[in-house]
Amino acid sequence: MSQVTKEAKEEIRSRFPKFEEATKAFFAKELAPAKYKGTSGKFGCYGERGANSVMLRLRFSGGAIEKPQMEFLSDVLDRYQIKLAHFTTGEALQLHHLNEEEVLKLYQECFDHGIYCVGAGSDNPRNVTASPLHGVAQGEYFDMTPYIKAAANFIISIIPRLNLPRKYKVSFSSGLDNEGHATFKDLGFVARPDHTFDVYAGGGFGLNGSRFGILIDEGVDPLDISNYILGYARDVYMKYGDYEHRGQNRSRFILNKLGDDAFRTAVREAAAKARAEGHSLVIEEEKPLTKSGADDTVLEDVRIGKQKQEGLYYVEYKPLGGTPDIKTFKALLDALIPMEGTEIRLNADETAYIINLTADEARKVAALTKDDTATTPFEHSVSCIGATVCQQGLRDSHGTFVHIAKVLKEKGVDSHFLPKCHFSGCPSNCTVQQLGSLGLRGASKKVNDKMEAAFNIYAGGSYAFGKEAISDVLGVITIKSLPDFFLALNDTLLKANQPFDEWYPEHKEDFIDLVNKFE
Q: Per-residue pLDDT tens for 466-518? A: 899 999 899 999 999 999 999 999 999 999 999 999 999 999 999 999 999 99
- The CATH 3.30.1370 portion of the chain extends over 298-372
Class for domain 298-372, per CATH?
Answer: alpha beta
The helix/strand/coil state of 122 is coil
User: In terms of Cα–Cα distance, which of 303, 430, 479 is closest to 376?
Assistant: 303
Q: Per-residue pLDDT tens for 379-397? A: 999 999 998 898 888 899 9
Q: Is the pLDDT of residue 235 over 60?
A: yes
Number of Cβ within a 10 Å radius of residue 3: 16
Residue with more model confidence, 232 or 293: 232
Superfamily of domain 129-276: Sulfite Reductase Hemoprotein, domain 1 (3.30.413.10)
Q: Per-residue pLDDT tens for 39-49? A: 999 999 999 99
Q: Is the pLDDT of residue 277 over 50?
A: yes
The answer as to CATH 3.30.1360 being correct for domain 6-112 is yes
- Where residue 2 falls among pLDDT bands split at 50, 70, 90? low
pLDDT at 446: 87
- The CATH 3.30.1360 portion of the chain extends over 6-112
Cα(190)–Cα(210) distance, integer angstroms = 20
Contact 54, 98 (CB under 8 A): yes
% of the chain at pLDDT higher than 90:
83
Q: Is the pLDDT of residue 274 over 60?
A: yes
User: In terms of Cα–Cα distance, which of 319, 287, 307, 395 is closest to 356?
Assistant: 307
Q: Per-residue pLDDT tens for 428-452? A: 888 899 999 999 999 999 888 899 9
Torsion, Cα of 66, 68, 70, 72 (10° steps): -150
Lowest mean pLDDT among 85-94, 164-173, 245-254, 323-332: 245-254
Contact 344, 336 (CB under 8 A): yes
pLDDT at 63: 94
Q: Is the pLDDT of residue 169 over 80?
A: yes
Query: Span 272-282, mean pLDDT?
Result: 91
Indicate the fold that domain 378-518 takes in CATH: Sulfite Reductase Hemoprotein; domain 1 (3.30.413)
pLDDT at 1: 39
Number of Cβ within a 10 Å radius of residue 296: 16
Q: How far is CA 120 from the centre of its chain?
A: 12
Cα(462)–Cα(212) distance, integer angstroms = 11
Beta strands in 245-359 (DSSP E): 304-306, 313-317, 343-346, 352-357
- The CATH 3.30.413.10 portion of the chain extends over 129-276, 378-518
Cα(322)–Cα(347) distance, integer angstroms = 10
Cα(339)–Cα(248) distance, integer angstroms = 48
Q: Is the pLDDT of residue 121 over 80?
A: no
pLDDT at 298: 79
Number of Cβ within a 10 Å radius of residue 268: 17
% of the chain at pLDDT higher than 70:
100
Q: Is the pLDDT of residue 5 over 90?
A: no
Q: Per-residue pLDDT tens for 180-221? A: 999 999 999 999 999 999 999 999 988 778 899 999 999 999
DSSP state of 114: T
Q: Per-residue pLDDT tens for 69-93? A: 999 999 999 999 999 999 999 999 9
Element containing residue 407 per DSSP (H, E)? helix 397-411
Residue 286, CA atoms < 13 Å, CB-side half-sphere: 16
DSSP state of 2: P
- Where residue 141 falls among pLDDT bands split at 50, 70, 90? very high
Contact 195, 185 (CB under 8 A): no
Residue with more model confidence, 56 or 431: 56
pLDDT at 249: 85
The pairs formed by 477-482 with CB atoms below 8 angstroms and a separation of 24 or more are: 477/445, 477/515, 477/518, 477/519, 478/445, 478/447, 478/452, 478/453, 478/454, 479/395, 479/396, 479/400, 479/452, 479/453, 479/454, 479/455, 480/452, 481/518, 482/400, 482/404, 482/440, 482/455, 482/518
User: In terms of Cα–Cα distance, which of 12, 7, 226, 54 is closest to 128?
Assistant: 226
pTM above 0.85, yes or no: yes
